Amino acid sequence: MATVIDGKNVAASVIQTVKSATAALEKSSGVTTGLAVIIVGDDPASHAYVGSKGRMAKECGFKSVQHTLPAETRQEELAALVASLNADPSIHGILVQLPLPKPLDSEPIIQSILPEKDVDGLSVVNAGKLATGDLKTGLVSCTPAGAMVFVRRTHGEDLSGLNAVVIGRSNLFGKPMAQLLLNANATVTMAHSRTKNLAEVCRNADILVAAVGRPEMVKADWVKPGATVIDVGINRVPAPDRGEGKTRLVGDVAFAEVSAIASTITPVPGGVGPMTIAMLMANTVIAAHRAAGQTPPQF
């Protein structure tokens, strides 16, 4: 049976490092790490996410600022708020909670955040830095950064000689994940819904990362015995056994059958999920260290 990675445990250890680094930065240079979150409208799921991010920022010892704007906020008003946060030296990370209500256009807003404050790692500048291997000055998108922590803790820093397959080519996860694996010297194949003989491609992987949003698509016969399997999918499927209309969360990997083949696997829920907010905090404290001219912590 595979070792199941406990994402909550790993996330807690990342947060512990963030807390120590935050306190050390404040002591050495008087800088309090600052995170500003902007939320527009009243989507309950977005407010729940923002609430948990704010609580975690406070727990880490950050200055945590939340700007809650009405749904009818105009594009130029939102752009002006981002510009004011860009100019505020006490704010090291700026986060705009997505999706924005229509007719607001999120792309120009995201790209207007200074790359060094873009703690979500979504700017084209940070994507470009990752693509060219510049991990020293760029910030990496939180979910792939979190998945990469699992990979490093399983296989070490250098992935030379290992084959990695990433299923999914999104800008949010698939592409940055492939770049991170490549930067660590893995031989990387990017697969997706149009890949021919997908199961066969996956069977070559020492590290298999699934991020396609198809419930339990990856079966046991897709997986090389002894592989590390990272499941990034979050899918709701009917669960009639729990009662009428009830659902449960599953990943992109058929967990029960694959865990009999793999050596290491992440569960859904409780795997990559908890790492996303932890890496957001990590990116913020890294940004604060860089702004203060200090060496940032490693995660």
Structure tokens at 185: 């010297």
Query: Using CA atoms, how far apart are residues 114 and 43, in angstroms rounded to an integer?
Result: 26
Any idea what DSSP says for residue 242? G
Residues in the chain: 299
Structure tokens at 257: 């059958």
Which residues pair with residue 64 across a beta bridge?
35
Query: Using CA atoms, how far apart are residues 9 and 6, in angstroms rounded to an integer?
Result: 5
Which residues pair with residue 209 across a beta bridge?
166, 230
- Cα–Cα separations (whole angstroms), residue 166 to 51, 65, 222, 242, 264: 31, 36, 13, 33, 16
**Identity of residue 84:** S
Q: Which residue has the tokens 């512990």?
A: 16
Q: Which residues are catalytic?
A: 53, 97, 120
Any idea what DSSP says for residue 116? G
**Identity of residue 287:** A
Helix (H, G, I), strand (E, B) or coil at 66: strand
Query: Using CA atoms, how far apart are residues 169 and 175, in angstroms rounded to an integer?
Result: 5
CB 109 within 8 Å of CB 135: no
Query: Using CA atoms, how far apart are residues 62 and 54, in angstroms rounded to an integer?
Result: 9
